[in-house]
């Protein structure tokens, strides 16, 4: 330990004079404040950024700051950046389980009671990664006159993001707390396929898909730590692009499933797959094409407990779920992944007759009426003439018969 302190003292002497020259005239050369730390909770790594000049003001430098007091590990030290204004000290590390443990970051998985869309299901998981950036005083003995510096940080990755950013400072120890919400929604995507091997992307023609055509759906997580799997709690269709539309049809929700929907993979890896047959909404009966949008309420679960998070689909559980659905049909936008428009043909729709062309189309209503009257008169004349000829023939035959009788 004494050798480590000796090395740190030597590094302090080398770097302190250079940093002081740059910081002494800078506006951030002052007492540390909570806003000195910024943080980004990414899908693959966390990034921390601390102002350097307050560290020099307190009598330290970048070599005396480390994650969770791991001053003996170079991977736990930050990288100074003097090219930016103001100068900063940057830390970044992967959120994978192995990388988090290197610098003693605390990784904790919790389960909470579901709310909103997930209030009918088992508890929702969250992951919290937290730790501190601590200063080391190489001159400290039994007592010290130097102010300790401590930056506390935390990234929380729940499915529903309800925590606000908070900051706190404590007198005597410069503590800056930074709690951030991370989001995995940008890693999720939905794709539609033609085939059961999920290779050929589905192309929807302008005339729409044939009814009962099977559509294969894949919801996938990319650029995401391998710790989590994708679990679909509900997939449904709406007649508008908005997931919270009042008109919807559930393909499956919990244990309740449409008869034409087949769930292939759900909660077993970072891809969920299911298929359903193309249908049309009855409200589109007067349209040649029925258009709808597909949405899936998606959550991420820790792979070892995904199975336990699935609803218990016994008969009793299914009945309870169906009753609860009446009171919980709202959808939260941040927890849904949606497709583009899907159109299906309405085969029994009657297309409008084409407009007449040529001379007939140019006739006025009056002309058409005149033609009709003329045709009617001609018909009456023809019928009258035929009756006249018929009667004349009958009379001629009768007269000839009378003459023959008289001659005899």
Is the pLDDT at 1 greater than 80? The verdict is: no
Fold match between domain 2-183 and domain 187-345:
yes
Rounded to 5 degrees, what are φ and ψ at 347?
-65, -30
Is the pLDDT at 222 greater than 60? The verdict is: yes
Characterize the bridge pairing of strands 149-158 and 174-181.
parallel
**Which secondary-structure segment (H or E) carries 170?**
none
Distance CA 344, CA 210 (A): 6
| Each residue's pLDDT tens digit, 270-279 | 999 999 999 9
Of 93 and 261, the one with more pLDDT: 261
Residue bearing tokens 């994708």: 230
pLDDT range class, residue 351, cuts 50, 70, 90: very low
Is the pLDDT at 406 greater than 60? The verdict is: no
Of 325 and 242, the one with more pLDDT: 242
**Which secondary-structure segment (H or E) carries 14?**
helix 2-23
pLDDT range class, residue 9, cuts 50, 70, 90: low
Q: Where along the chain do its domains lie?
A: 2-183, 187-345
DSSP secondary structure, 70-95, as one string? -TT-GGGB-EEE-SSSS-EEEEEEE-
Position 402 scores a pLDDT of: 53
Of the listed ranges 20-34, 145-159, 363-377, the one predicted with least confidence: 363-377
Beta carbons of 231 and 300 less than 8 angstroms apart: yes
CATH topology of domain 187-345: Immunoglobulin-like (2.60.40)
Distance CA 245, CA 328 (A): 14
Position 395 scores a pLDDT of: 63
> Which letter, b or e, does each residue of 72-84 get, where b requires 16 or more Cβ atoms within 10 Å of its Cβ?
eeeebbbebeeee
CATH topology of domain 2-183: Immunoglobulin-like (2.60.40)
User: Which residues of 165-283 form beta strands (DSSP E)?
Assistant: 174-181, 188-193, 214-221, 228-238, 248-253, 256-257, 262-265, 271-277
CB within 8 Å of 381: residues ≥ 6 apart: none
Residue bearing tokens 């589905």: 202
Distance CA 40, CA 300 (A): 20
| Each residue's pLDDT tens digit, 151-204 | 999 988 765 433 333 344 444 555 566 667 677 778 888 999 999 999 999 998
Position 89 scores a pLDDT of: 94
pTM for the model stands at 0.57
Distance CA 220, CA 119 (A): 24
SS3 labels along 269-326: CCEEEEEEECCCCHHHCCCCEEEEEEEEEEEEEECCCHHHHCCCCCHHHHHHHHHHHC
């Amino acid at each position: 330990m004494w050798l480590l302190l000796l090395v740190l003292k030597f590094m302090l002497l080398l770097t302190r004079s250079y940093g002081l020259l740059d910081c002494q005239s800078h506006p951030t050369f002052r007492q540390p404040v909570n806003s000195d730390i910024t943080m980004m909770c990414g899908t693959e790594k966390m990034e921390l950024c601390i102002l350097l000049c307050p560290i020099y003001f307190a009598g330290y430098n970048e070599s005396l700051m480390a994650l969770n007091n791991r001053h003996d590990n170079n991977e736990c030290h930050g990288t100074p950046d003097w090219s930016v204004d103001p100068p900063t000290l940057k830390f970044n590390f992967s959120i994978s389980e192995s990388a988090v443990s290197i610098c003693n970051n605390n990784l904790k998985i919790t389960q909470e009671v579901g709310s909103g869309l997930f209030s009918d299901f088992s508890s929702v998981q969250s992951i919290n990664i937290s730790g501190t950036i601590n200063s080391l005083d190489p001159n400290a003995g039994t007592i010290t006159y130097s102010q300790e510096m401590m930056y506390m940080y935390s990234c929380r990755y729940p499915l529903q993001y309800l925590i606000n950013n908070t900051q706190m400072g404590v007198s005597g120890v410069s503590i800056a707390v930074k709690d951030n919400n991370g989001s995995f929604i940008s890693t999720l995507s939905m794709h539609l396929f033609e085939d059961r091997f999920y290779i050929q992307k589905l192309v929807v023609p302008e005339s729409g898909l044939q009814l009962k055509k099977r559509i294969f759906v894949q919801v996938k997580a990319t650029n995401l730590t391998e710790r989590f799997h994708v679990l679909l709690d509900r997939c449904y269709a709406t007649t508008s692009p908005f997931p919270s539309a009042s008109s919807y049809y559930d393909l499956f929700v919990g244990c309740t499933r449409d008869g034409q929907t087949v769930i292939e993979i759900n909660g077993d890896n970072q891809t969920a797959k299911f298929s359903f047959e193309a249908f049309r909404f009855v409200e589109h009966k007067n349209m040649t094409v029925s258009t709808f949008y597909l949405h899936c309420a998606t959550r991420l679960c820790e792979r070892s407990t995904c199975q336990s998070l699935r609803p218990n689909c016994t008969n009793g559980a299914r009945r309870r779920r169906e009753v609860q659905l009446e009171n919980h049909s709202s959808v939260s936008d941040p927890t849904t992944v949606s497709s583009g428009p899907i159109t299906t043909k309405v085969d029994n729709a009657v297309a409008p007759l084409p407009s007449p062309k040529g001379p007939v189309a140019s006739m006025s209503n009056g002309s058409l009426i005149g033609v009709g009257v003329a045709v009617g008169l001609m018909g009456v004349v023809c019928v009258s003439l035929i009756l006249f000829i018929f009667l004349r023939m009958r009379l001629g035959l009768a007269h000839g018969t009378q003459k023959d009788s008289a001659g005899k």
